[in-house]
Each structure stands twice: as structure tokens, then as C-alpha cells.
Amino acid sequence: MPGRSFRVGITCYPSVGGSGILASALGEELARRGHEVHFISYDRPFRLPAAAPRIHFHPVAINDYELFKYPDYTLPLSVKMAEVARDHALDVLHVHYAVPHATAAILARAMSAAGREPCVVTTLHGTDTTLLGRDAGYGPAIRHALTRSDAVTAVSGWLRDETVRLLKVERPIEVIPNFFTPRPPGRSRAEIRDELGVGDVPLVVHVSNLRPVKRIDMLLETFARALPGRDFRLLVLAGGDFRPFAEQAKRMGVADRVVVRENVFEVEDYVAASDVGLFTSDSESFCLGILEAMVLGVPSVSTAVGGVPEVVVDGQTGLLAPAGDATGLAAALGSLLDDPPRRLAMGVEARRRARELFSAEAVVPRYEELYARATAAPVPH
Ligand code: GMT
């Protein structure tokens, strides 16, 4: 740890989603490096270990007052943030996903005693800008919170540029990419394949929360188009309900070749037992799923959207195809399935790139440096 240790409050969505996963991993790494980390959210983030030194969790209680048609989260969150900041003398409130976390943090800072205000660091993850930033009911509040944050980061250059374009943000936004640290292997490739009942045939893996932007329809379409003349399986690690898509798989006649596991919190063993990743999103600021595969030596076929080309080097660590192009995606997938040596070489290169650019060792010190800069020179407010 370089010099100073920080007391950091982290707020994120605790449910399945890239921003919460990244925030949890960051908290774990910061605690490992000697910082004191306080998670503040309505639930304990799902990938956070049950108990770990220097990691604390502060739940936000939400009351459902009859008077309100919709329960409010932003105000109780800001009050809890201010309380934790005061009681634990936090240096930094680091919020992941701007809505409503950045607004709550700005309010918490305003409620803190003069001279004891925590710095606010906001990390943008994607739809907080690309979806909500376009919404007239949110845009001005997001812009305000970003302008008043002491530091703002985005997980890709594409997301930084989109944020500037959509929200006309004039302050600097630093690009700090995502990272992924795999947990130690639990079960072997053979054990996992045995559980999945896939024998030795090539296995294509998809990991996501199945939201509409992930285009699961396109995933199944790509899979179905690549199948003729080949024997392989699709494994979907679903952070959401797969039932609406099971019908489509049945209609396409591929249901018996699709294996689904829902709510797998530790994806590593499943991904490591796979041969190719497949991601067909319409939009991704980064795509943590691709990185999880890369770290485990698995190359991906993906749509070339948003920040994905910053993660995947087309032809070296994976293959890219235009969004919505099931034919192109299926051709790319087929070419990797038909060429195991190329697939393996890409996996090696993917792992090397992940280690160099997207490992905790490469990324976490950048957050530490940012905390040091932000606390040394907070923005005047
Ligand atoms: O994947 C999602 O839909 C969740 C969303 C989030 O904010 O939780 O993911 C975004 O953040 C991830 C972590 O930085 C990125 O890897 C995803 O690309 C991004 N999703 C989109 O931009 C659609």
C-alpha cells in the first residue's frame, strides 16, 4: 500500500449487476491492502465475503410510509452515509453507479460538519449515463452530482466520451477500467462438466443478468445458427430468470443443448470449464463477463459495442462482430469452435492482456492515487 491508509465508504447496488460486483471486488482489495472499508447499501453486496478483516456493512433501512406512493431510498441513504462518515471519520465516499448514489453522497457531504466532510468519488458504470443520463427526469440531477463530485471515473474511454456528450459535463473524468480477481479453483473442469452433463464437447459460456440490453434472443439465435454440423453446448450463468427465454430455445429446437445455472455467485469454476465466451449485447460500457472469461484463459466472441473494443483485441484475445448481426456472430463462434489451437492461443493472449491491464495489481493503485489526490485537493463547494 503506498503510504496512506484510507477510510472509505462504498455505496453500490448489492444485487447482481456489474457495478455492484466491481464495487465489492474493489472493497475487498482495498481492505486487503490495509484500508478500512464501509459498505453502505440496502443489502449486503452478494459477492462480498461473509466476514473479512477491515470490511464493514451498514444497512440502510427504508420505511414504506403510506403517505408516499413510492418509497424513497435517496434520503435514508444520504442520512446513513453522513452517519457512517461521521462515526468512522471517512476520508472518501466512493459511489458506484451515479443514480441515486452520487446525489445521496453529495447530500451526505453537505450534511457533514464543516472541515470533516468526506470526499465524494463517483464511478460511472454505464446505464447511469447511457440510459438515465438521457432521461429528462434524471439528467440534470446526474450532471449536478458529477459536477460536484471531488473526482469522477468511468470504466472505459467510450463511457467517458458518452458522458461528456450526453450530459455536457465539463469537469475531468478519469478512465479507470474494471478488474477481476478470480477466487481459487474449487472444482475441477472434469467435475464441473460432469455436473453439467456436457462430457467433452466444446462449451460456450454466457454470464449476465439477462437484462434486455444483453440480447438473450440474439445469444440463442447465434448459438442456433452456429450449431449445424457441430456438436457443442451453451452454458448460461444467469443472474436473472431464464424462463422467458426457455420457450425461445424450445421453439428453435436447441433447448436440449442449453444448460442454465441461475444465481451462481462464484462463476469461476464454470467459466474455467468452458471454451469460448459469447456476448451479444446491444450496449456495454465494458462487459465484466468478457473480462471474467479472459482472466480464466477463455476467449470470447462479442458484439463490438461501447467499451468492448477497449477490452477485446479483435483477432488476438477474442473476436468481435457488429451488434445485431447473428450471422457474423455465428461465423465468428464457428471459426473458434473449429480451430482449437487458435482458440487456445487466444485464451493465452486474453489472460496475458487481462493480467497486464485489468488485474487488481494494475487497477487498484489507481483508485488509491485518486483518493490521495481527491483528499488533498477537494473541489470547492
Ligand atoms: O450489466 C448490467 O446491466 C449492469 C450494469 C451495472 O451498472 O451494474 O453494468 C454496467 O457496469 C458493468 C461494470 O462496470 C459493465 O461491465 C457493463 O458493461 C455495464 N453495462 C452496460 O453498460 C449495459
At 266, the pLDDT band (50, 70, 90 cuts) reads confident
CA of 289 to the centre of ligand 1 (A): 10
| pLDDT tens, position by position, 112-168 | 999 999 999 999 999 999 999 999 999 999 999 999 999 999 999 999 999 999 999
Reported as half-sphere exposure (CB side, CA atoms, 13 A), residue 102 has a value of 28
| pLDDT tens, position by position, 206-236 | 999 999 999 999 999 999 999 999 999 999 9
The dihedral through the CA atoms of 107, 111, 117, 118 has a sign that is negative
What pLDDT does 377 receive?
Answer: 82
Q: pTM for the full model?
A: 0.95
Query: Is pLDDT larger for residue 265 or for residue 103?
Result: 103
CA of 209 to the centre of ligand 1 (A): 10
Decide if pLDDT at 2 tops 60: no
The best mutation among 16, 284, 300 to test binding of ligand 1, ranked by most ligand atoms within 8 Å of the C-beta, falls on: 284
Taking the CA of residue 286 as reference, the ligand 1 atom at the shortest distance is 18
What pLDDT does 250 receive?
Answer: 96
| 275-285: average pLDDT | 98
Does the domain formed by 7-179+360-376 have CATH 3.30.70.660? no
| Three-state DSSP string of the chain | CCCCCCEEEEECCCCCCHHHHHHHHHHHHHHHCCCEEEEEECCCCCCCCCCCCCEEEEECCCCCCCCCCCCCCHHHHHHHHHHHHHHCCCCEEEEECCCCHHHHHHHHHHHCCCCCCCEEEEEECCHHHHCHHHCCCCHHHHHHHHHHCCEEEECCHHHHHHHHHHHCCCCCCEECCCCCCCCCCCCCHHHHHHHHCCCCCCEEEEEECCCHHHCHHHHHHHHHHHCCCCCCEEEEEECCCCHHHHHHHHHCCCHHHEEEEECCCCCHHHHHCCCEEEECCCCCCCCHHHHHHHHCCCCEEEECCCCHHHHCCECCCEEEECCCCHHHHHHHHHHHHCCHHHHHHHHHHHHHHHHHHCCHHHHHHHHHHHHHHHHHCCCCC
Q: What percent of the chain has pLDDT over 70?
A: 99
Least trusted range by pLDDT, from 4-8, 102-106, 262-266, 347-351: 262-266
At 63, the pLDDT band (50, 70, 90 cuts) reads confident
What pLDDT does 122 receive?
Answer: 98
CA of 167 to the centre of ligand 1 (A): 18
Taking the CA of residue 211 as reference, the ligand 1 atom at the shortest distance is 3
Pocket of ligand 1 (CB under 6 A): 17-19, 22, 97, 125-127, 155, 178, 209, 211, 213, 283-288
Decide if pLDDT at 379 tops 90: no
| 27-31: average pLDDT | 97
Taking the CA of residue 126 as reference, the ligand 1 atom at the shortest distance is 22
Note whether 7-179+360-376 and 189-357 share their fold. yes
Return the domain boundaries, the chain: 7-179+360-376, 189-357
Q: What percent of the chain has pLDDT over 90?
A: 92
Any idea which fold 189-357 has? Rossmann fold (3.40.50)
What pLDDT does 1 receive?
Answer: 45
Mean pLDDT of the chain: 96
Taking the CA of residue 213 as reference, the ligand 1 atom at the shortest distance is 23
The DSSP bridge partners found for residue 56 are 38
111, 76 contact by CB (below 8 A): no
Residues whose CB is less than 8 angstroms from the CB of residue 203 and which lie 6 or more positions away in sequence, other chains included? 193, 196, 232, 233, 234, 235, 273, 274, 275, 276
Q: How far apart are CA 85 and CA 119, in angstroms?
A: 10
Nearest CA to ligand 1 atom 9: 18
At 381, the pLDDT band (50, 70, 90 cuts) reads confident
